[in-house]
Structure 1
């Protein structure tokens, strides 16, 4: 498991491009036939990718956690960006569609992922055991945001949020940029009460996303390719612009699950 320590904003302001990428970019979320783990000390989240190719992949428990099972003290949301496939939790099989989400509650033990799925997992500590729940893309709370004139027309689907599916901390969803739109989350914002992570996907091989991060008056950027993830601390903005349309999974953890709890950062105030 790759461990990333938390960073203060004044530290980030001094970093080179390579240092920023080492701290905040996860460039190998998916490795064929394996489960990868990245642990961030920002709200103690785990970001993982499972890419089964033949036999189902069993979700291991990283030794660094010092627990018998990954979910002894944790919960997770799992979103499938591959073809429809089965996730089995404690002997119960769930068929997770493309862009569908499976919430896995604290206390779960045996978890396997089957091909041809491509599963992105976001986990945080949990104070209660809540039921494992499947949410299809068509069951999401759908929001239409932005305008074509500002190149940020997008569809946001809330899959795990403060609504029908109960979770302790984790909130997740998928945002899809419409053709001709490139900007996400603009105007930008921060939310001091929770961190966030982005997984960019459906990014063309010859395209990239310029992800903006840092304090509003000390912005930095990361060049992000397909199926790479970015860790965003609570104090950092998180926004981006692509060379063409793309999609991304947003995932949050923290003490406040109110989706609208954001501190806006108008572009006219950013530097």
Structure 2
């Protein structure tokens, strides 16, 4: 498991492109027949990827967690962005189609990821946060999720926002997770930008062609920086940073939040004239 430390926003102003990518871009989550994880000190969130091709993959326990099993004091959200697969939780198997989400609560010991076919393997994106109590395992698909149509064609940001794990959906301790899908010929997300100082956020961008890119804007509103992001790369967004993106084509992204406040609408809007 890779460890990422937190950054003071005053120091961030001096970062080079290389340093920004090193600290905030997560680029190697999906290795064949591997479970890869990144631990960030922003609200102690763990991002991960599991790509079972020739074998099933167990969610093992990194030494750095200092626990007997991964979910001893944690909860986990799983979203499949690949082919058909399954997630087994303490022997109970949950079939997972593309863009379905599974929540696994604190206290479950054995989590195993599998694909139905090695030709079209499942690809599981993982987000884990600390948990103080146990909630039941639940699965949700796009039809069951809360869905909101946002944006306009004139602003190039028509998109559908799906909420999976949140106060009015799958219950959790602090993890909030969902998916946003931009419609064809639309490129912008989360603009006008906002902040939420009570919690961090992470984006996983996907559904991009090999040559397509997303320009992800981050930093304090008056000191913005950017990352050039490829398909299936994630970005860690501190609570002091905006998080907005513009693609060379339409795309989708999985958003996940953790922190003090569990209210999705808790955000501080940033006026366009305040962006620099």
Contact 1:96 1:136 in 2 (8 A): no
Q: Does 1:215 align with 2:216?
A: no
Q: Does 1:196 align with 2:183?
A: no
State the SS of the aligned residue for 1:268.
helix
Q: CA deviation at 1:97?
A: 1.8
State the SS of the aligned residue for 1:94.
strand
Q: CA deviation at 1:107?
A: 0.3
Q: Please give the per-residue CA displacement for 1:51-104, whole angstroms capped at 9, x wherever unaligned.
A: 000221111111110111110000011000012211000000001221010001
Q: Does 1:158 align with 2:158?
A: no
Q: Does 1:136 align with 2:136?
A: no
5+ residue gaps, structure 1, are: none
CA RMSD of aligned residues (A): 0.7
Contact 1:151 1:183 in 2 (8 A): yes
Size of the alignment, in residue pairs?
Answer: 271
Distance in 2 of aligned mates of 1:113 and 1:161: 24
| 1:118 equivalent in structure 2 | 123
Contact 2:163 2:169 in 1 (8 A): no
State the SS of the aligned residue for 1:83.
coil
Q: CA deviation at 1:161?
A: 1.1
Contact 1:181 1:244 in 2 (8 A): yes
Q: Please give the per-residue CA displacement for 1:199-218, whole angstroms capped at 9, x wherever unaligned.
A: 00011111100000000000
Contact 2:49 2:125 in 1 (8 A): yes
Q: Does 1:241 align with 2:246?
A: yes
| 2:13 equivalent in structure 1 | 13
Distance in 2 of aligned mates of 1:62 and 1:11: 30
Contact 2:201 2:237 in 1 (8 A): yes
Q: Does 1:61 align with 2:66?
A: no
Q: TM-score, normalised by structure 1?
A: 0.99
Distance in 2 of aligned mates of 1:249 and 1:99: 10
Which is worse superposed, 15-24 or 109-118?
Answer: 109-118
Q: CA deviation at 1:24?
A: 0.1
Q: CA deviation at 1:220?
A: 0.3
| 1:22 equivalent in structure 2 | 22
Q: Please give the per-residue CA displacement for 1:136-160, whole angstroms capped at 9, x wherever unaligned.
A: 1211100000101001110011011
Distance in 2 of aligned mates of 1:266 and 1:149: 19
| 1:99 equivalent in structure 2 | 99
Q: Please give the per-residue CA displacement for 1:205-263, whole angstroms capped at 9, x wherever unaligned.
A: 11100000000000000000000000000110000100010000000001111111100
Q: CA deviation at 1:166?
A: 0.8
State the SS of the aligned residue for 1:22.
helix
Q: TM-score, normalised by structure 2?
A: 0.97
Structure 1 moving runs of 4+ over 3 Å: none
Distance in 1 of aligned mates of 2:167 and 2:7: 28
Q: CA deviation at 1:164?
A: 2.6
| 2:90 equivalent in structure 1 | 90
State the SS of the aligned residue for 2:53.
coil
Contact 1:212 1:237 in 2 (8 A): yes
